Amino acid sequence: MQELKKEYKDLLPEKIIQEIEDSLPEKVSKTQLKEIFKRVLEEYENSQVDPGESVGLIAAESIGEPGTQMTLNTFHFAGVAEMNVTTGLPRIIEIVDGREKIKTPMMEIFLQKPYSEGEKIKELAMKIKSTLLEDLAKEFSINIGELTIELQLDREVIKQVGIREETIQKTISQGVKSITIKKTEDGFIIRPRAKGNESLNELYKLKEKLRALFITGIKNIQQVLPVKRKGEWIIVTSGTNLKDVMKLKEIDPTRTISNDIKEIRKVLGVEAARQSIINEVYKVIEDQGLNINVRHIMMVSDTMCMTGEVKGITRYGIVGEKASVLARASFETPIKHLLNAAIQGEEDHLISVIENVMLNQPVPTGTGLPTLKMKR
Amino acid sequence: MKVDPKIINHVLMPKHEKLSDRQKQEILKTYNITEGQLPKIKIKDAGLMGLDVKRGDVIRITRKTRTAGTSYFYRVVTDV
Complex confidence, ipTM: 0.94
Domain boundaries, chain A: 2-46, 54-104+259-321, 131-216, 324-368
Assess whether the region A131-216 and the region A324-368 belong to the same CATH fold. no
What pLDDT does residue B77 have? 94
Long-range contacts of A30-39 (CB under 8 A, 24+ apart): A33/A1, A33/A4, A34/A4, A37/A4, A37/A7, A37/A8, A37/A12
- For chain B, which domains are there? 5-78 (3.90.940.20)
Question: Kindly report the CA angle at A220 between B4 and A189, in degrees rounded to 5?
Answer: 125
- Bridge partners of A23, per DSSP, are none
CB contact under 8 A, B12 and A13: no
Q: In the CATH hierarchy, which fold is given to the domain comprising A131-216?
A: Dipeptide-binding Protein; domain 1 (3.90.76)
The CATH code of the domain at A324-368 is: 1.10.150.390
What single-letter DSSP state applies at residue A102? -
Nearest residue on chain B to A18, judged by CA atoms?
Answer: B69
Nearest-by-Cβ selection for A308 from B14, B16, B42: B42
C-alpha distance from B42 to closest chain A C-alpha (Å): 6
What pLDDT does residue B70 have? 87
- Name the pLDDT band for B52 (thresholds 50, 70, 90): confident
Q: pLDDT under 70 in chain A at which residues?
A: 72-83, 194-198
Nearest by Cα to A251 from A111, A347, A81, A52: A111
Contact A256, A245 (CB under 8 A): yes
Q: Report chain B residues whose CB lies below 8 A from the CB of A5.
A: none
For A1-31, what is each residue's pLDDT tens digit?
A: 778 888 888 888 888 888 888 888 888 888 8
Residues A163, A165, A167, A172, Cα dihedral to 10°: 120
C-alpha distance from B49 to closest chain A C-alpha (Å): 10
What pLDDT does residue A258 have? 92
For A67-76, what is each residue's pLDDT tens digit?
A: 888 876 555 5
Contact A69, A290 (CB under 8 A): yes
b/e sequence A158-172, b meaning 16+ C-beta within 10 Å: beebebeeeebeebb
| CATH of A54-104+259-321 among 1.10.3470, 1.10.10, 3.40.50, 1.10.1790 | 1.10.1790
Nearest-by-Cβ selection for A268 from B10, B63, B67: B10
